[in-house]
Structure 1
């Protein structure tokens, strides 16, 4: 997916979070969004996903040369963020079945493969409410990574992961990213070591 931001600005009340962002996310390219906590990384991701409106500016999306409207962008992206909620009344097996009723698994995999790749196969009958924070993070990452999409978004993917799990994430990301556009928001360089380009949100904090 190709994403073009033109003068994107966002404010809450009288406070500008960022102003006049002009940026071109090229298709099939890997980007890191960096900046101190509270700088607006998650806000910008929410805007790109169509989750919240921007105050002024314009966003354009294209997938394989076809223009995509903001109202249908959700069909083309998969995402894992720290603020995402999981349906904790479901078992792991049930949440996978529910999720993949609406979205396709990446080509060549099935639900059992996904369980194995998340290294959670032994937990498939366990309720999500009984998962540790690290297991929930693995699930969020797995649901995003193994969903067929053209845009893949992670916000602080290393949160709640130990060193071994962070290495697990990097290994699977390298193998299953394929030709997707990747956006990773984080202050931890380990999270975005795969990325080719860096966008510093601090560059857009001053009034322009």
Structure 2
């Protein structure tokens, strides 16, 4: 999926968080968005995915040169971030089955396949509310990265992960990230080491 931001800006009350953002995200590209905490990286991701409306400028989407309307974009992207809430009353199996209703998985991965990728076989029937923060982050990542969607957005993907979890994330990207546009917002270099370009958010302050 191709995404083009033209002179995009976001203002909260009288304060401009970002302004003058011009970005072209080509199909299959891999881009890192870097900058200090609180500088607007998450805000930019939310505008790219359509969750936030720009105060100025526009975001355009297309697939194979065919324009996508905003209400069509959701079906073509996957998003993982520490602030995205899971339905904590679901068991692990229920959470995966629920996600599949809205986003199919790559390679027709089954629920059992996803649980195996997580390494959570013993937690199949456990409610998500009882998971550690690291387990929840792994679940958010596997649901997004394994989804069959041409655009993948990741905000601080290794938050709450230990060294082993960070290695697991890198392996997941290597296996399921091919031929997709991937945008990673982070200050941790290992989060976006596979990206081929980087944008410093401070350029748009």
**Residue aligning to 2:165:** 165
Name the TM-score, length of structure 2 as normaliser.
Answer: 0.98
Name the structure where helix makes up a greater proportion of residues: 2
In the TM superposition, residue 108 of structure 1 has moved relative to its aligned partner by 4.2
Q: Distance in 2 between matches of 1:83 and 1:188?
A: 17
1:187 equivalenced with 2:155 (yes/no): no
Give runs of aligned pairs for residues 102-181 of structure 1, distance below 5 A.
102-181=102-181
Q: Distance in 1 between matches of 2:71 and 2:103?
A: 17
What's the secondary structure of 1:154's corresponding residue?
strand
Q: Distance in 2 between matches of 1:129 and 1:170?
A: 26
Q: Distance in 1 between matches of 2:66 and 2:123?
A: 41
1:100 equivalenced with 2:106 (yes/no): no
What's the secondary structure of 1:107's corresponding residue?
helix
Moved over 2 A (4+): none
- Contact 1:36–1:187 (Cα < 8 Å) also in 2: yes
1:21 equivalenced with 2:21 (yes/no): yes
What's the secondary structure of 1:27's corresponding residue?
coil
What's the secondary structure of 2:190's corresponding residue?
coil
1:201 equivalenced with 2:198 (yes/no): no
Q: Distance in 2 between matches of 1:125 and 1:110?
A: 16
Name the TM-score, length of structure 1 as normaliser.
Answer: 0.96
Higher mean C-alpha displacement, 32-41 vs 99-108: 99-108
Q: Which runs of 5+ in 1 are unaligned?
A: none
What's the secondary structure of 1:139's corresponding residue?
helix
Give runs of aligned pairs for residues 56-67 of structure 1, distance below 5 A.
56-67=56-67
Q: How many residues align?
A: 205
What's the secondary structure of 2:169's corresponding residue?
helix
What's the secondary structure of 1:46's corresponding residue?
helix
**Residue aligning to 1:41:** 41
1:2 equivalenced with 2:2 (yes/no): yes
- Contact 1:63–1:150 (Cα < 8 Å) also in 2: no
Q: Distance in 1 between matches of 2:64 and 2:180?
A: 11
